[in-house]
Chains A and B, each alone.
Chain A
Amino acid sequence: MTEKITKTRHIRQQLESLNQQQSKTYYTPAKKKQKYKGLGLNWRDAVILVMAMFFVGLYQVQAHADEYFDLEEVDTGMMLSYHQAGNDYAALKLLSSEYNIDITGIIAQVNIKQTFHNDTVNWIEEGMYAFPVADNAAVYQMKLIIGKRVIEAEIHEKQQAQQIYDTAKSQGLAASIVKQYRPNLFTTDVANIMPNEKIRVEITYQQTLRYDAGHIDFRLPLAIKSRYMQEKFLADLDQNDLNLQDAALPITTVFDAKHRNININLEAGFELSELKSLNHDVDIVHTAITQTISLLDKQLYDKHDFVLRWHPQRGNEPQAAMFSETLNGEEYVLMMLLPPESIKSIETENKQSREVVFIIDTSGSMHGNAMSAAKDALFFGLTQLAAKDKFNIIEFNSYARELFAHSVLASSDNLDKAINFIDKLNADGGTNMAPALALAMEDEVATNRLKQIIFITDGSVGNEAQLFSQINQNIDAARLFTVAIGAAPNNYFMNKAALIGRGTYTNIAKLNDVDDSMNELFIKLSSPTLTDVMIQWNGDVEQNPRVIPDLYSDQPIIVTARMKNFDAEVALSGYVNDKTWSKAFTFNQDGASRGVAKLWARNQITDLTDDFMLGADIDASLLQAQITDIALKFHLVSKFTSLVAVDKTPDMTRLVALQADAMKKAQAFEFVNFPQTALGWQWQMLVGLMLLALGLFTRKLLA
């Protein structure tokens, strides 16, 4: 939370300084003087003007300090109009929002239709539609209907997208390449919205949901939060309505017609022990395998996101769910493997004995708090060892050094030595991970032991590809768990290394969270519920991930596959506490689960990129061709493709209207946000007195 606040503050500071710079350069006296020479002003006027401009500039800077309408803060689908004067945004009135969602296992296909109304008298030249999407979601379809105009977005290869954009621009058409102002904000520019015009937006995105702590959440950002309240809306309100503020209701209701419609079709794949909406009343209709959820109160307004949460029923052993989608004659399959109910039932003595190798980064960059946090993590790790477990510690900076030549039993004697060793660790020198990893992976893994390598570092790495390939070649039966200490680790490396090492990645961003995070990790480590998972497909299959990770108590295994000859029979096997486990599943082949093919394609692209990173013998241009091919076929935004929006219905009359409006604008009335602070009695009095005089005068003439 505090982190977020500091982040926002940081961004804000940047914006302010940027703005200050802009206003400084913009209001350079020399420039202004020249400009106003043309108006026939003398130097005194010019100086006064410059001063006035300067103060107005200051005023703006001040304004931004507190009320900057930051794209960082968009929290639901909003149509924005750009105000050049303040370099900020105002929101258009939202008439209605309709959400249609299909959820298949962990895939959510979200279709959003929103209607906005430009109920101002202003022509909006520069507008923008913004929608916050979750970080694992991608918009792949967009349609804007503005009056009679239709703007549609399509996925094109990047260069081609640029060409389409350029061509459209040169023909005077509105076009925009869908941009990302921040990773989780979908935005598209919308030019020329007429006064009193309605805008319909339709976007479709696919999101991969997370299973966490026994449940899956689907979240929709619904509310326009109160910070977007513009003074002009306040001014329009009767003062009595303003008391809404006291009721802690967002006063934004004014420009939100509050109409929401949500329909969700949920096919969870498992029996559900619980299904509920956290913040809103919903109607749930259960059928054999699906649930239909719809929002009860359609005239809804509150400040909460819509959150649907379901808990898949867990059994005594791993359970699987399968979904399939048929696309172009090929079958795409999503399999979810859910861990069994409780890990507590596994008695300590039944647990498989382990060999834990700790690798600790003692390079100079760890110096200070990071080092002591890493030491804490190590100490915590040692306390989690059972007497029958073996362990070893390897420290590395420019060189690697191990505590024992080979792993030893966690006897109190050995633990004492380890504690002494850790106490004396000093952060100094370079970061050379390869020798440490080599030492950790050098001994052959004993068949009856689970070998776990815990790699604690601040993650400043340079030679990722080389390290990935080293891990890939030597990991054998061991598992690699990466633990990053500090706020800004190389997440990509840490994540990928753990993935290749069939382990998990833990990021300890705040140094006082060490114990909690390590505790979670060790609970996980002490009890994998299913290891060495194998899937026996019947048929020609491209499966992703190719090496399946272990199943831990808190996260399911997700596998996607493309099958040539579809067969509904699948056999799963693995080890549960050193004992073999296997099960055959038959799943329904309805081929109607939307989004599976897309998820497969996305994973496939990641795989291809990883192959390249791992130093596989692939030509870079071939890789690009492959990725582009997949992205175009499955409508995905990727490194080589982008979504470009082009106005399909050019309308030259709009250009004429635009020019006319620009002229009209000079005298157009705009909203007054300051209270109207003049009675105006003088004018009326004057008119009255003049009329009286005129009346008396005419009377006199008549007499």
Chain B
Amino acid sequence: MKLKVLISTVILCTGLWHVSASGYMLSKAWLSQILIKQAWQQTLLDKQQHKPWSWADTFPVASLQVPRLAVSSYVLEGSSGRNLAFSATHLSQSGMPGQQKTTVISGHNDSHFGYLQQLLIGDEILLTTVENNIKKISSYRVSSTQIVDSKKHQLKIFNRDELLLTTCYPFDSLTAGGHLRYVIHAIPVT
């Protein structure tokens, strides 16, 4: 009897732990947005870099809007796993909008970049950045979408102005760690 109580308690606790851990992940992803938003607005005001919280080792570098879907994301610098947990991120070794270099922005498919699956060819993407103390909005148009096997392919940074949005694929996958990536390619609107 006692043993059974113990087992059921253990099962309950593990379940609780799993639920709260995933809840924690989700709430972290959503709550951090408020702080990142504040930091970004501060950046837009004084054109300086601001950490979203004092112990962060990253800062927002851009915001991304999709007018048709009325959605937006804040983009943190550096595509490390930790940064990705908080928001969409900008790959450090890629370019910035307006530069003659591919800009790569990645986000989780089950949180910040979930809306990528709704993007259609021809959709406009706006990127707000700060360049030389000036707020700058760059406009891109989705030219193609692709599913890429990350086992076989690597991200390619070209010497031209273009935007790549990447996230994991498939979107409704239950587990993380898959090797397929959904890549949206967008070209500058001239």
Q: Is the CB of A691 within 8 A of B11?
A: yes
A240 to B82 alpha-carbon distance, docked (Å): 12
Interface contact B26-A676, CB-CB below 8 Å = no
Kindly count the residue-residue contacts between A and B in the assembled complex, taking CB atoms under 8 Å apart. 165
Closest residue of chain A to B178 (Cβ to Cβ) is: A678
With contact pairs A675-B106, A677-B107, A691-B11 given, residues A59 and B22 touching in the complex (Cβ less than 8 Å): no
Which of A540-582 touch B at CB < 8 Å? none
Chain B's closest residue to A63 (CB) is B156
Contact indicator A698/B176 (Cβ below 8 Å)? no
CB-nearest residue of chain B relative to A239? B78
Say yes or no: B4 contacts A684, CB within 8 Å: no
Q: How far is the CA of A673 from the CA of B12 in the complex (A)?
A: 38
**In residues 662-691 of chain A, which contact B (Cβ within 8 Å)?**
670, 672-691
**A243 CA to B93 CA in the complex, in Å?**
9
Q: How far is the CA of A678 from the CA of B170 in the complex (A)?
A: 10
**Chain A, interface residues (CB within 8 Å), range:** 35 or more
The reply to whether A673 and B15 form a contact with Cβ atoms under 8 Å apart is: no
**Given known contacts A674-B106, A695-B9, A698-B4, is B111 in contact with A679 (CB within 8 Å)?**
yes
Given A66-B156, A672-B151, A692-B15: A678 in contact with B22 (beta carbons within 8 A): no
Cβ contacts under 8 Å, B106 to chain A: 674-675, 677
Which of these binds chain A: B39-47, B48-56, B59-67, B83-91?
B83-91
Q: Are B176 and A674 in touch, CB under 8 angstroms? A: no
B92 adjacent to A695 (CB under 8 Å): no
Bound complex: CA A59 to CA B178 (Å)? 20
Q: State whether A685 touches B175 (Cβ < 8 A).
A: no
Q: B133: CB under 8 A from chain A? A: no
Pairwise interchain contact A675-B18, C-beta atoms closer than 8 A: no
Complex: how many Å from CA A674 to CA B80?
11
Least CB separation from B29: chain A residue: A679
A675 touches B4 (CB 8 A): no
Which residues on B sit within 8 Å (CB–CB) of A689? 15, 18-19
Distance (whole angstroms) from the CB of B18 to the closest CB of chain A: 3
Is B73 positioned at the interface, with any CB of A under 8 Å from its CB?
A: no
B113 within 8 A of A: yes
**A684 and B21 contact, CB distance less than 8 A:** yes
Q: How far is the CA of A694 from the CA of B18 in the complex (A)?
A: 13
Nearest residue, chain A, Cβ from B28: A679
Query: Do residues A688 and B153 form an inter-chain contact, with CB atoms below 8 A?
Result: no
Please state if B179 and A242 are interface contacts (CB–CB under 8 Å). Answer: no
Chain A's nearest CB lies how many Å from the CB of B10?
8
Q: A234: CB under 8 A from chain B?
A: yes
In the complex, what distance in Å separates the CA atom of A692 from the CA atom of B21? 13
Q: Which residue of B lies closest to A230 (CB)?
A: B154
Q: Binary interface profile of A, 320-341, with partner B (CB < 8 Å = 1, else 0)?
A: 0000000000000000000000
The interface residues of chain A lying within 8 Å CB-to-CB of B167 are 677-678
> What residues of chain B lie closer than 8 Å to A680, measured between beta carbons?
25, 110, 175-177
Q: Flag whether B120 is at the interface (Cβ < 8 A).
A: no
Cα A679 to Cα B24 in complex, Å, equals 11
- A residues 182-234 with Cβ under 8 Å of B? 230-232, 234
Cβ–Cβ < 8 Å partners of B110 in chain A: 678-682
Given A59-B146, A677-B84, decide whether A683 and B174 contact each other with a Cβ distance below 8 A.
yes
CB distance from A4 to the nearest CB of B (A): 18
CB neighbours of B178 from chain A (8 A): 678
Known: A66-B156, A677-B106, A677-B167. A684 touches B22 (CB 8 A): yes
Question: In the complex the two chains form, what is the Cα distance from A696 to B93 in whole Å?
Answer: 50
Contact A675 B19 (CB under 8 A): no
B11 with A676: CB separation less than 8 A: no
Residues on the B chain within 8 Å of A44, using CB: none
Of A59, A232, A691, chain B has the most CB atoms within 10 Å of the CB of A691
1-34 of chain B: CB within 8 A of chain A: 1, 4-5, 7-9, 11-23, 25-26, 29
Q: Kindly state whether residue A55 has any CB partner on chain B within 8 Å.
A: yes
Q: Nearest chain A CB to B28's CB is how many angstroms away?
A: 9
Q: How far is the CB of B45 from chain A (nearest CB, A)?
A: 26
Q: Which residues of chain B from 114 to 167 have any CB-CB distance to chain A below 8 Å in the complex?
A: 146, 148, 150-159, 166-167
A702 interface residue per 8 A CB criterion: yes
Chain A: CB-nearest residue to B88:
A677
Whether B177 contacts A685 by the Cβ 8 Å rule is no
Return chain B residues, CB-CB under 8 Å to A693.
15
Residues in B with CB closer than 8 Å to A695 are 8-9, 11-13, 15
A685 contacts B18, C-beta separation under 8 Å: yes
Chain B residues within 8 Å of A240, by CB: 57
A688→B22 contact, CB < 8 A: yes
CA distance A678 to B111 in the complex (A): 8
Asked if A698 and B7 make an inter-chain contact with CB atoms under 8 angstroms apart, the answer reads yes
Interface centre among A232, A673, A695 (most CB of B within 10 A): A695
Chain A residue numbers with a CB within 8 Å of B79 are 239, 675
Q: For A243, what are the chain B residues with a Cβ–Cβ distance below 8 Å?
A: 92
Residues on B with C-beta less than 8 A from A85 are 152
Summarize A's interface: helix, strand, loop or mixed. helix
Q: Is A349 an interface residue (CB 8 A)?
A: no
CA–CA, A698 and B4, complex, Å:
8
Q: How far is the CB of A241 from chain B (nearest CB, A)?
A: 10
Output the least CB separation between A558 and chain B (Å): 45
Q: How far is the CA of A670 from the CA of B156 in the complex (A)?
A: 18
Q: Considering the complex, give the chain A residue whose CB is closest to the CB of B10.
A: A695
Contact between A688 and B150, CB atoms less than 8 A apart: no
Interchain CA distance A231-B33 in the complex, whole Å: 29
Name the contact of A679 in the complex, choosing from B17, B154, B157, B176 (C-beta under 8 A): B176
Q: How far apart are B36's CB and chain A's nearest CB, in angstroms? A: 16
B168 adjacent to chain A (CB < 8 Å): yes
Assess whether B174 is in contact with A686, with CB atoms less than 8 Å apart: yes
> Which residues on A sit within 8 Å (CB–CB) of B57?
240
Q: Which residues of chain A in 104-152 are interfacial with respect to chain B, using CB atoms and an 8 Å cutoff?
A: none
**Contact residues in B for A690 (Cβ distance below 8 Å):** 15
Residues A231 and B16 in contact, CB atoms below 8 Å apart: no
Given the complex, which residues of A lie within 8 Å of B155, measured CB to CB? 231, 673-674
Residues of B within 8 A of A678 (CB): 108-110, 167-168, 173, 175-178
Using A63-B156, A675-B84 as known contacts, say yes or no to A670 and B151 having CB atoms under 8 A apart: yes
Question: Does B81 contact A676, Cβ atoms closer than 8 Å?
Answer: yes
For the complex, give the distance between the alpha carbons of A673 and B93 in Å. 13
Q: Which residues of A contact B26 (CB under 8 A)?
A: 679, 681
Residues of B within 8 A of A66 (CB): 156-159
Rounded to whole angstroms, the CA-CA distance of A56 and B180 in the bound complex is 13
Residue on B nearest A686 in the bound complex, by CB: B174
Whether the pair B12, A688 counts as a contact (CB closer than 8 A) is no
- Asked whether any CB of chain B lies closer than 8 Å to the CB of A619, the reply is no
In the complex, which residues of chain A have a beta carbon less than 8 angstroms from the beta carbon of B157? 66
Closest to A231 in B: B154
The CA-CA distance from A231 to B80 in the complex, in Å, is 14
Residues of A within 8 A of B18 (CB): 684-685, 687-689, 691
B15 with A688: CB separation less than 8 A: yes
Mask for A431-463, Cβ within 8 A of B = 1, else 0? 000000000000000000000000000000000
In whole angstroms, what is the CA distance A57 to B91 when docked? 25
Q: Let me know if B146 and A67 touch, CB within 8 A.
A: no
Flag if B174 contacts A698 (CB, 8 Å).
no
CB of B185, distance to nearest CB on chain A (Å) = 10
Query: Chain A 237-270, CB within 8 Å of chain B: the 1/0 string?
Result: 0111011010000000000000000000000000
Binding site for A on B (CB under 8 A): 1, 4-5, 7-9, 11-23, 25-26, 29, 57-58, 78-81, 83-85, 89, 91-93, 106-111, 113, 146, 148, 150-159, 166-168, 173-179, 181
Apart from A675-B89, A686-B174, 18 more pairs, CB < 8 Å: A66-B156, A231-B154, A239-B92, A240-B57, A242-B78, A677-B167, A678-B168, A679-B85, A681-B26, A682-B22, A684-B22, A685-B19, A688-B16, A688-B21, A692-B12, A693-B15, A696-B12, A702-B4
Q: Which 7 A-B pairs have the closest CB atoms?
A: A688-B18, A680-B176, A691-B15, A695-B12, A688-B19, A692-B15, A231-B154
- Supply 15 A–B pairs (Cβ within 8 Å), ascending by A: A67-B156, A230-B154, A239-B78, A242-B92, A672-B151, A674-B150, A677-B106, A684-B19, A685-B22, A688-B16, A688-B18, A691-B12, A691-B15, A696-B12, A698-B11
